[in-house]
């Protein structure tokens, strides 16, 4: 009986750790609102705004200074436009679906400071047209 109790205690602790890790529902990126992202852009200085829509969507309307890397092009290869894997990367798309996919891919590529804020449809700030 004395041998069984420590075994059960260890199993209980391990199962608790697994539940806590999986309950976050995210793959290592942080999700915020577009309004929170706008506020973050006012206080932070070293960040990249990443638009993961198509080039055509980007040229139609995008957040000033955003870099366009379409979600479909993000795979397993290094991304030259994003050399610093620890830099704050603020990711958006049109409605929030592609930005979540891209955020997960970036985390799997080793990026450590990825923040997803949904879509340009809910963006409260300025937008511009054309290629940057």
Check if 93 is active-site. yes
In three state form, how does the secondary structure of the chain look?
A: CCCHHHHHHHHHHHHHHHHHHHCCCCCCCEECCHHHHHHHHHHCCCEEEEECCCHHHHHHCECCCCEECCHHHCCCCCCCCCCCCCCEEEEEECCCHHHHHHHHHHHHCCCCCEEEEEEHHHCCCCCECCCC
| Active-site position among 93, 102, 103, 114 | 93
Rounded CA separation 126/68 (Å): 17
Residue whose structure tokens are 């047209």: 129
**What is the set of active-site residues?**
93
């Amino acid at each position: 009986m004395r041998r069984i109790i420590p075994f059960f205690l260890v199993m209980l602790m391990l199962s608790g750790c697994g539940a806590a890790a999986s309950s976050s529902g995210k793959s290592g990126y942080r999700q915020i609102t577009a309004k929170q992202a706008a506020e973050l852009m006012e206080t932070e200085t070293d960040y990249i705004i990443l638009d993961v829509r198509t080039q055509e969507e980007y040229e139609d309307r995008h957040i000033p200074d955003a870099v366009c890397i379409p979600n479909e092009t993000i795979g397993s290869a290094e991304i030259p436009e994003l050399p610093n894997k620890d830099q704050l990367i603020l990711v958006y798309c049109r409605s929030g679906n592609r930005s979540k996919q891209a955020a997960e891919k970036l985390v799997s590529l080793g990026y450590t400071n990825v923040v997803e804020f949904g879509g340009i449809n809910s963006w409260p700030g300025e937008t511009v047209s054309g290629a940057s």
